[in-house]
A and B are shown apart, each in its own frame.
Chain A
Amino acid sequence: MGNEDQRSGVGCDQMVRDHASATSDEVSETPPSTPEQPEIEGKRRLLLWVKAQLLVRTRRELKDLLLKIVFAVAMLIVVLPFFLVVVHLAIVGLGGLTLDFFTTLPGPSLAGGIRNALVGTILLVLVAGGVGIPLSVLGAVYINEYSRPGRIRNLVEFASDVLAGIPSIVIGAFGFAFVVVFLGVGMGLVSGGLTLAFMMIPTVLRTTQEALRQVPVSLREASLALGATKWTTTWRVTIRAAFPGIMTGVLLSIGRVMGETAPLIFTSGNSLGVPTSIVGPASWVASLPYTIWAYVSDPRPYLQVKAHSTALALLIIVLAVDVVANYVSRKVTRRLV
């Protein structure tokens, strides 16, 4: 036990949190004033706590209590919309989430399912990831491992921060003007995927950089001391150690990109079927967000319902991806500690 536990009693906190370490001969007296039967007394304890809070005597204490209430209310207001949105989507759209919904195409009257949108989103994410992930991961590796800290590194970091903040419609307009028209690729899978890649690059680059930075220098040094080249060290040691962090960043940006509509409006086209080619008119591809947008704008009531079901499906998929990302990131902290 060093000096740390003298500082603000933190060490005491740590020590007593592992109850297992308390040996029997140390605890000679039992602590007083804890309730006799904790379960039954739970409600009474809550009441006592509320009473204790209300025991204000001075103006300062009153102000303290009122402010605490204000902060708590702010928290409630912040969380409220989540439940409002999810509950509403479930009420209107849950009924429509049948197996048919996911496996059939919409058909000419749009009365069918959303298989086109589902497949479309997956394909778009594949294209976007296929281009964006290697570019940003490799780029981050270069910046963090090879470049000297200095103007170039600052410039690239600055550029990716700025890129991350660009509105999605501006990226969409750029994708349209540059990829679709200027490069002549035309609307479809490639253009849509590339535009989405533009959105992925800055976030994946930054998160990869962070993950690489977390890897302790001693790991790299140990590898180099054994005679490995920088290339081998980077790939076999550093990236392997940073892999969960990189994976988290990749997953989070995939989740984000799945829900983007604006970049796709002018670049992916739309389709009632599954794309049969990579470029050209046959490559026009539907996507989940675009479908929601199209159905909501349509006056037919059954499409309004389908829009809700699609939104619910999209929400579930995106949240699932996020949960996986969080799980991976928690595995990181456990491994590095």
Chain B
Amino acid sequence: MTSEEPSGNSLLLRFPRRIWSYVLGGLRTVRRVRGPAAQDLVGRFVLLVPAFAGSALIILILAFLWYEATPIFLDPQGGPSILVQPIWDPNRDLFGIAVFIVGSFVCTFLAIAMAVPLGVGAAVFLSEFCPLRIRTSIRMIVEMMAAIPSIVYGLWAYVVMVPWIRDSFAPAVQSNPLTSWMPWFQGSTNGLSVLAGSTILAIMLLPTVVAVSDDALQSVPRTYREASLALGATKTETARKIVVSAAIPGIGAAIVLSLGRAVGETMAVLMVTGNSLQIPYSLFDPTYVMTSIITNQLGYAFVFPLWRSALFAVALVLLLMSISFTIIAKWFVRWGMKTRGLV
């Protein structure tokens, strides 16, 4: 492919110039080839289209959300400050989305705090201590858990977990003198709460954390374990200090990606968090997360431009967060591998 420029290149911008010369070059080749080579050329061009579908899609999504969200950012009443305004009242044209950001943050943080230690611990058991026959059965169960749709988890949480929190857990914890003083156990509740939301989120995150961590641990070469044992370490010392440490790049990536999933989880959290516009101060307080407000209100809001724009702003925040998490996960894996000399 030569770099001959078409004669009228002063009319073209710099960027399309490359594509243009590529296309022209291709056209010239097409005139020259015959037979099987033509087949290959056609194939290459035909496949080009779907290949770019993926990247085109994401740019399209970004562009569209940005387009829809801009009005609220430009509006004098709104502007970028809506990110920190706590009052959401469409009737009065108040579109502060801070409540939802806080709600998502709290639920996600708690869910990760529960899921990561449990998940990594279970993965260590699975990889280092579990007899082979039991291991395959457990892996099968974990993969089935990962396949359960979020609406099904939501259904169970709504019908079983929420009443349990209302009727058993909250009364027990609030009457027991050991725990009744704790500030995060205060408040009366009907069960729809931060606790319910973050717990069901944690349950949904666990299978992925376990599976990815288990894979990461399994891929640590056996010889490291043997070297550690030969120095007189116990199996758990070996697991902790050598195996887990070697697998941190993979495990860390799993955690960051779980963060992204937690923030973006919709149905289960929607059904059990109570959807209240107050900022939660206790585990038993209800809350509103970003995904829920969009789900609840986009249908009504669509005909009201400012309201709709505010909801798309929330969607944009979600999108940017999930992009960031993906990038952070990739960067973390690269850093982890470099400091261990594994790259």
B284: interface (CB < 8 Å)? no
B268 CB to closest chain A CB, in angstroms? 10
Which of B57, B64, B295 contacts A201, CB < 8 Å?
Answer: B57
Q: Is the CB of A261 within 8 A of B267?
A: yes
Q: List residues 164-186 of chain A with CB under 8 A from any CB of chain B.
A: 165-171, 173-174, 176-178, 181-182
Q: Is the CB of A169 within 8 A of B294?
A: yes
Q: Is the CB of A230 within 8 A of B40?
A: yes
**10 additional contacts (CB under 8 A) given A74-B117, A292-B152:** A64-B234, A68-B235, A75-B130, A79-B145, A166-B264, A167-B265, A167-B322, A174-B64, A177-B65, A318-B149
Assembly CA distance A77 to B119 (angstroms): 9
B138: interface (CB < 8 Å)? yes
Interface locus among A31-39, A102-110, A133-141: A133-141
A169-B54 CB under 8 A given contacts A146-B47, A178-B64, A230-B40: no
A299: interface (CB < 8 Å)? no
Q: Count the A residues whose beta carbon is within 8 Å of the partner chain — how many?
A: 88
Assembly CA distance A88 to B162 (angstroms): 14
Assembly CA distance A161 to B256 (angstroms): 13
Q: Is the CB of B152 within 8 A of A165?
A: no
A155 surroundings in chain B (CB, below 8 A): 55
Chain B residue at smallest Cβ distance from A93 = B155
Main secondary structure of the interface of B (DSSP, over half): helix
B109 surroundings in chain A (CB, below 8 A): none
A272: interface (CB < 8 Å)? no
B288: interface (CB < 8 Å)? no
The 8 A CB mask of B240-258 against A (1 = contact, 0 = none) is 1000000000000000010
B72 surroundings in chain A (CB, below 8 A): none
Q: Is the CB of B267 within 8 A of A229?
A: no
Q: Is the CB of A315 within 8 A of B148?
A: yes
A230-B64 CB under 8 A given contacts A71-B124, A161-B326: no
A72-B151 CB under 8 A given contacts A146-B47, A173-B294: no
A212: interface (CB < 8 Å)? no
Assembly CA distance A68 to B42 (angstroms): 60
- Can you list 27 A-B contacts (CB < 8 A)? A8-B222, A8-B226, A60-B237, A71-B129, A78-B142, A78-B206, A81-B203, A84-B156, A88-B156, A136-B50, A136-B54, A138-B47, A139-B53, A139-B54, A159-B58, A163-B57, A165-B260, A166-B319, A168-B264, A169-B318, A173-B311, A181-B302, A229-B37, A229-B40, A262-B267, A262-B291, A292-B155
- Please name the 7 residue pairs, one residue from A and one from B, whose CB atoms are nearest each other, closest first: A259-B149, A167-B264, A74-B121, A142-B47, A159-B55, A71-B125, A142-B51
Q: List residues 284-324 of chain B with CB under 8 A from any CB of chain A.
A: 291, 294-295, 298-299, 302, 311-312, 315, 318-319, 322-323
A96 CB to closest chain B CB, in angstroms? 14
Q: Is the CB of B54 within 8 A of A201?
A: yes
Main secondary structure of the interface of A (DSSP, over half): helix
Q: Is the CB of A78 within 8 A of B122?
A: yes
Q: Is the CB of A165 within 8 A of B261?
A: yes
A137 CB to closest chain B CB, in angstroms? 8
Q: Is the CB of B156 within 8 A of A85?
A: yes
B30: interface (CB < 8 Å)? no
Chain A residue at smallest Cβ distance from B127 = A71
A159 CB to closest chain B CB, in angstroms? 4
Assembly CA distance A122 to B70 (angstroms): 37
Which of A74, A146, A165, A255 contacts B264, CB < 8 Å?
Answer: A165
Q: Is the CB of B68 within 8 A of A165?
A: no
Q: Is the CB of B266 within 8 A of A167?
A: yes
B240 surroundings in chain A (CB, below 8 A): 67
Q: Is the CB of A75 within 8 A of B315?
A: no
Q: Is the CB of A79 within 8 A of B138?
A: yes
Q: Is the CB of B155 within 8 A of A307?
A: yes
B160 surroundings in chain A (CB, below 8 A): 84, 88
A289: interface (CB < 8 Å)? yes
Q: List residues 222-272 of chain A with CB under 8 A from any CB of chain B.
A: 229-232, 234, 255-256, 258-262, 265-266
Q: Is the CB of B151 within 8 A of A74?
A: no
Chain A residue at smallest Cβ distance from B330 = A161
Chain B residues close to A by CB (< 8 Å): 36-37, 39-40, 42-44, 46-48, 50-55, 57-58, 60-61, 64-65, 68, 117-119, 121-122, 124-126, 128-130, 138, 141-145, 147-156, 158-160, 203, 206-207, 210, 222-223, 226, 234-237, 240, 257, 260-261, 263-267, 271, 291, 294-295, 298-299, 302, 311-312, 315, 318-319, 322-323, 325-327, 330
Q: Is the CB of A165 within 8 A of B267?
A: no
Q: Is the CB of A138 within 8 A of B236?
A: no
B36 surroundings in chain A (CB, below 8 A): 229, 231
A202 surroundings in chain B (CB, below 8 A): 54
Q: Among B55, B210, B261, B323, which residue has the most Cβ atoms of chain A within 10 A?
A: B55
Q: Is the CB of A135 within 8 A of B50?
A: yes
Chain A residue at smallest Cβ distance from B293 = A169
Q: Is the CB of A68 within 8 A of B236?
A: yes
Q: Is the CB of A262 within 8 A of B266?
A: yes
Chain B residue at smallest Cβ distance from A289 = B151
A63 surroundings in chain B (CB, below 8 A): 234, 236
A311: interface (CB < 8 Å)? yes
Q: Is the CB of B271 within 8 A of A319?
A: no
Q: Is the CB of A293 within 8 A of B51?
A: no
A231-B271 CB under 8 A given contacts A258-B149, A259-B151: no
Chain B residue at smallest Cβ distance from A156 = B55
Assembly CA distance A293 to B39 (angstroms): 50
A210: interface (CB < 8 Å)? no
A315 CB to closest chain B CB, in angstroms? 6
Which of B154, B260, B312 contacts A173, CB < 8 Å?
Answer: B312
Assembly CA distance A111 to B4 (angstroms): 72
B326 surroundings in chain A (CB, below 8 A): 161-162, 165
A205 surroundings in chain B (CB, below 8 A): 54
Which of B58, B118, B203 contacts A74, CB < 8 Å?
Answer: B118
The 8 A CB mask of A191-202 against B (1 = contact, 0 = none) is 000000010011
